[in-house]
Amino acid sequence: MNLIFDCDGVLADTERYGHLPAFNATFARFGLPVQWTEEQYGEKLKIGGGKERMASLFADPSFAAAIGDADRTELLVTWHKAKTAAFKQLVVDGKIPPRPGIARVIHGAIDAGWTVAVASTSAEESVRAVLANAVGASDIPVFAGDVVPAKKPDPAIYELAVERLSLDKRDTLVVEDSRNGLLAATGAGLRCLVTVNDYTRAEDFTESVLVVSELGDPGRPPIEVLANRGAARPGDYLTLDDLRACVEEAR
């Protein structure tokens, strides 16, 4: 059995408590005439990749005029590097706790001999920081950032993970939190479990095998099952047996 996790919104609630404040801190640092609200950032999440979200600023004529004739590619690289550093500091400062169940499920899967990996559109430095904070030091493979030419919902990142790790798609489950991630996973021929968050709860997850509020942990309130199209029969929290059941019909 193989598990591939997205990072943002899956390993931790990074969007609201990490990426958004890191973007805004970067804008302020460089004197850029923009600060994203939570609602505006929710719209930006439809764009895969941090540099790509920053690049969307240039669609506003007033912003483009304020920047002038500077090399946009160079500016984006500089801004994104600063944003990544700001994000990593938030992780180090403990501002972005892991989502419930992540440490339990990942450690349990590794102990059971499963292959575990992470595939994300975020910068690799940011992903590795979140992963280390969530599960501790590990040799879990990470596929992230510009390692593929197209970001989610393009399936390239998952196709790369499958190829590099020689995974059997029939025994591989992706854990995502957004429709873009779901489309990337299913586009690569993989089954997908979705753990929603406040930004993505209302999105369309028709193609998923299971949709839950979180993975859950013993002692926490029971998880909410929003949709179930597979063989899993979750209790108060998801178990490895539930995750295995999500791919049973694909075998």
- Radius of gyration over every alpha carbon of the chain, rounded to an integer in angstroms: 18
Residue 10 and residue 182 in contact, taking contact as beta carbons nearer than 8 Å: no
Distance, in Å, from the CA atom of 196 to the CA atom of 44, rounded to the nearest integer, reads 17
Respond yes or no: is residue 6 known to be catalytic.
yes
Q: What is the DSSP string of 33-92?
A: S----HHHHHHHTTS-SHHHHHHGGGGSHHHHHHHTTS-HHHHHHHHHHHHHHHHHHHHH
- How far, in Å, CA of 58 to CA of 79, rounded? 13
* Number of helices (H), then strands (E), in the chain: 11, 7
Tokens read off for 32: 């850029």
Out of 6, 13, 154, 177, which one is annotated catalytic?
A: 6
Contact assessment for residue 188 and residue 155, using Cβ atoms and an 8 Å cutoff: yes
| 236 labelled catalytic | no
Which residues are part of the catalytic machinery? Answer: 6, 8
